[in-house]
Amino acid sequence: MAAADLPLLKPALYQTAGTEVTPERPALLGGECACGYWFFPLQTYGCERCGSREIKPRALSGTGALLASAQVHRHAGKSREAPFTVCSVALDDGPVVRTLIVEGCGPLTVGQRMGTTLAPVTDLEGRAALDLRFEPET
Amino acid sequence: MALNDLRPAYVAGIGFHRYQFASETPYVDLGLAAVRAALEDAGLPWPAVESAYVAKALLPMAPGRAMLRHLGATGIPIVHIENASASGSAAFRHAVMEVAAGLADIVLVVGVDKPMPVARAEGLARIGGLADDAIAPFTHFAMLADAYAAKSGAAFEDIALVAVKNHKNGSQNPFAQHQKVRTLDDILNGNKISGSFTSLQCTPVGEGAAAVIVASEDGLKRHGLGLDRAARVTASAGRSQRVYEDATRYDAMLTEETAAIALREAGLTPAGIDVVELHDAFTVEEVEYLEAMGLAPDGQAVPMLKAGEFDIGGRCAVSASGGLIAMGHPIGPTGVGQIGEITRQLRGEAGTRQHKGARRGLAHMVGVGAVCYVHILEKA
């Protein structure tokens, strides 16, 4: 199976297609409240800013600025193997999201531009899938 | 209405069981040791206690009566408070409110915990994040260190000086989990954990207990006691995270607004604080929170740390107990233990780690969720 045909590991959180603004970058599946607040991930319990339940899905563009990163040397559990690098990214659409950075991308500088991509991974049952990662924008 | 509109509440007794690595000792022994020490320190008999708050985050449901009945089951109300890392701080706040409101004269606060598997409610409440399992607390704070270094220009080696100071303080505290002086080299060459953190820049996992007796002047008088060794609680502030304009700074914003409320309540400025115990589970937190609370100008906490301003004997002693990094962070006891340390400092009874002339102390805790507590104590 070609990588592009693999199922998404967490399809409730992101999609292969981008937004109109960044069609090449997988979009994050967030929410938008009637008050104007954009958030991630989507939930319908109520808006964290105003309490309203007038919430609709909002695909968020997969680009932003690097707030911080850290190479993790210790990891409990079998879900992944250390070392790996995580990052915190302030999306251009507002929310701050955190996940892994693609392997082997070299040193990072706070403030640099980052974008989403899909990377092949193996899920806990050993099946191949695609998971969302950030990579430096070139 | 603020705390100072009610009658004064005092810390009249303090007691600890040493914070330590996980052992076979039952939690009952840990907790009772702290409670008995606090009663003895206060000069009060157990039957004088009218109400008890038990702080725990990890122990199973309702450990309080199963422990306290061994002092004699007097039938007093017992309530358990779980508020993550801030469990002990929250329990203390409620004991203070009960005394200040006049509902009780003598109240026990005891924090006790042992390492146990942790389950977090946040994962049950919503769809998980992109990689929650990959971002343990040490990684959350490793990223905060990365952002802090980028913003302030501080070197990671200099941020690690927080650990040098706090391990040195802990080496003089018989109740600390880590009681060993460490050089900067020891700390930087330790096991790598996450980002710039090595193991000695992170709080250890452990167990222990801390207790304090909160009392009114009337209650103490009734037992023939005065206020000579008491510390007055002059502010108690508790907050939880809001949606801030700048979503990237919620850790600092939460501490900033909680500390501001407490300082206003006590009628103090940050410059008036002599001793601080804060949530230094990871080195960067100390400098981040000192700036958020106004004890250092933005970006200046590391230069001030290097100049010794936060040492015992410096401008303001920070984490004189050893803090969470050296004294430890058994969770339930931690916030109670901070109050114990500050009281000891205000009494002038801290021995070799005494900050001379300590008159006003501030205790700060954050807990996942996120919640924040700040208490201010002053020499009575």
What are the pLDDT digits (tens) for B53-102? 999 999 999 999 999 999 999 999 999 999 999 999 999 999 999 999 99
Mean pLDDT of chain B: 96
Contact A90 B126 (CB under 8 A): no
Calculate what percentage of chain A has a pLDDT beyond 70. Answer: 98
**Candidates B125, B135, B195; nearest CB to A98:** B135
Nearest CA in chain A to B140: A70
Nearest CA in chain B to A78: B133
pLDDT band at B343 (very low <50, low <70, confident <90, very high): very high
Per-window interface: B 131-190 vs A, CB < 8 A: 131, 133-136, 138-139, 142-147, 150-151
Report whether pLDDT(A1) > 60.
no
Residues of chain A with Cβ-Cβ distance to B129 below 8 Å are 13, 41, 97-99
To the nearest whole angstrom, how far is the Cα of A83 from the nearest Cα of chain B?
9
Using a CB–CB cutoff of 8 Å, tell me whether B61 touches chain A. Answer: no
Cα–Cα distance between B201 and B191 in angstroms, integer? 10
Work out the number of other CB atoms within 10 angstroms of the CB of residue B118. Answer: 10
Contact B130 A98 (CB under 8 A): yes
Using a CB–CB cutoff of 8 Å, tell me whether B321 touches chain A. Answer: no
Residues of chain A with Cβ-Cβ distance to B193 below 8 Å are 73-74
To the nearest whole angstrom, how far is the Cα of A58 from the nearest Cα of chain B?
15
**Candidates A43, A79, A111; nearest CB to B127:** A43
Beta strands B51-55 and B78-81: pairing type?
Answer: parallel
N residues, chain A: 138
Cα–Cα distance between B38 and B6 in angstroms, integer? 25
To the nearest whole angstrom, how far is the Cα of B31 from the nearest Cα of chain A?
30
The percent of chain A in helix, strand and coil, each rounded to the nearest 5, is: 0, 45, 55
pLDDT score of A123: 81
Sign of CA dihedral B45, B97, B277, B242: positive
Q: Which amino acid is at B313?
A: G
Which tens digits make up the pLDDT trace of B211-265?
Answer: 999 999 999 999 999 999 999 999 999 999 999 988 778 889 999 999 999 999 9
Q: Of B339, B219, B332, B328, whose CA–CA distance to B276 is shortest?
A: B339
Using a CB–CB cutoff of 8 Å, tell me whether B193 touches chain A. Answer: yes
Which tens digits make up the pLDDT trace of B283-292?
Answer: 999 999 999 9
Q: Which of A33, A55, A69, A72 to mutate to test the interface with B (most CBs of B within 10 A)?
A: A72
Using a CB–CB cutoff of 8 Å, tell me whether B246 touches chain A. Answer: no
- Tell me if B243 sits within 8 A of B254, measured CB to CB: no
Using a CB–CB cutoff of 8 Å, tell me whether B271 touches chain A. Answer: no
Residues of chain B with Cβ-Cβ distance to A67 below 8 Å are 143, 147, 248
CATH of B3-116+205-231, one of 3.90.1150.10, 3.40.47.10, 3.40.50.2000, 3.40.50.300: 3.40.47.10
pLDDT score of B126: 62
pLDDT band at B331 (very low <50, low <70, confident <90, very high): very high
Residues of chain A with Cβ-Cβ distance to B126 below 8 Å are 41, 43, 45
Q: Of B132, B151, B282, whose CA–CA distance to A86 is shortest?
A: B132
Report whether pLDDT(B332) > 70.
yes
Nearest CA in chain B to A100: B131
Report whether pLDDT(B121) > 90.
no
Per-window interface: B 104-123 vs A, CB < 8 A: none
Contact A70 B139 (CB under 8 A): yes
- Please compute the mean of the pLDDT values over residues B320-344 and round it to a whole number: 98
Contact A73 B248 (CB under 8 A): no
pLDDT band at B128 (very low <50, low <70, confident <90, very high): confident
pLDDT band at B28 (very low <50, low <70, confident <90, very high): very high
Residues of chain B with Cβ-Cβ distance to A45 below 8 Å are 125-126
- Please compute the mean of the pLDDT values over residues B170-191 and round it to a whole number: 98
Report whether pLDDT(B127) > 70.
no
Contact A49 B243 (CB under 8 A): yes
* Strands (E) located in chain A: 14-15, 27-33, 38-39, 55-60, 63-72, 84-91, 96-100, 113-122, 128-136
Contact A68 B146 (CB under 8 A): yes
Residue B308: helix, strand or coil by DSSP?
A: coil
CATH number of B134-193+234-379: 3.40.47.10
Sign of CA dihedral A29, A35, A36, A39: negative
Which tens digits make up the pLDDT trace of A74-132?
Answer: 998 777 889 999 999 999 999 999 999 999 888 899 999 999 999 999 887 889 999 99
Domain residue spans of chain B: 3-116+205-231, 134-193+234-379
To the nearest whole angstrom, how far is the Cα of A138 from the nearest Cα of chain B?
21
Calculate what percentage of chain B has a pLDDT beyond 90. Answer: 92
Contact B131 A42 (CB under 8 A): no
Matching fold, domains B3-116+205-231 and B134-193+234-379: yes
